[in-house]
Amino acid sequence: METQLTAWPEITEIRPKILECDVVRFQNNKEKWVAFVGILDGYPYEIFTGVLDDDDGIALPKTVVSGYIIKNIDESGLKRYDFQFINRRGYKTTIEGLSERFNKEYWNYAKLISGMLRYRMPLDMVIKVVSSLQTDSDNINSWKDGVAKALKRYLPGNNNTAENTDNAEA
């Protein structure tokens, strides 16, 4: 049976400098992790993940559930992604260099997932691909479950909220 596509999804070739972002917390084995899900036109567009840790990862107040991912390019052409949120006093707080704070292996997996999201692969299929990744690492297997849970909240008809996803264990 042949499936016919009724309309091509809107694809944005050039990433906007600033994207709205949801913050989703999850556990990777015993560690607390965070996913920053960049949103474009109400659809997940990219994802960044890393350890919630004051020393080696991201220090982020528990009350932060949204913000912005800002793409910056320096004078030499190097790109970096920053996360910015409004703190309780109303001031902008920026965490610079998400790519420098995260483990490169997870960064690379997230980059692939972001590519699927940017080119509007149906979200249920992105989740299926993420869930079916087969690795020899328990940490990556636990991580991919957390990423899948973070993305499931955007499926049509899913009424998961940041509050009940934040404390989900993968």
Token pair listed for 72:
């910056």
Token pair 């994207």: residue: 19
- Per-residue DSSP letter, 169: B
List the alpha helices (DSSP H) in the chain: 98-101, 104-118, 123-132, 138-152, 162-166
Strand partners, 18: 70
- DSSP at 154: T
The structure's pTM equals: 0.82
CA distances, 9 to each of 6, 122, 126 (Å): 10, 9, 15
Would you tell me how many other CB atoms lie within 10 Å of the CB of residue 163?
Answer: 8
Residues in the chain: 170
Give the residue, 48 or 158, on which the prediction is more confident: 48
Q: 83 to each of 11, 114, 158, how far by Cα in Å?
A: 23, 16, 26
Q: pLDDT tens digits for 21-73? A: 999 999 888 888 899 999 998 899 999 988 887 666 678 889 999 999 999 99
Structure tokens that stand for 25 in this block: 């917390």
- Tracing tokens 């107040």 back to the chain, one arrives at 61
Whether pLDDT at 105 is above 60: yes
Q: What is the token pair recorded at 1?
A: 């049976």
130, two tokens:
């993420």
- pLDDT at position 102 over 70: yes
Please give the average per-residue pLDDT across 122-138, as a whole number: 88
Residue 149: how many other CB atoms lie within 10 Å: 20
98, 48 in Cβ contact below 8 A?
A: yes
- Measure the CA–CA gap between 147 and 70, rounded to whole angstroms: 21
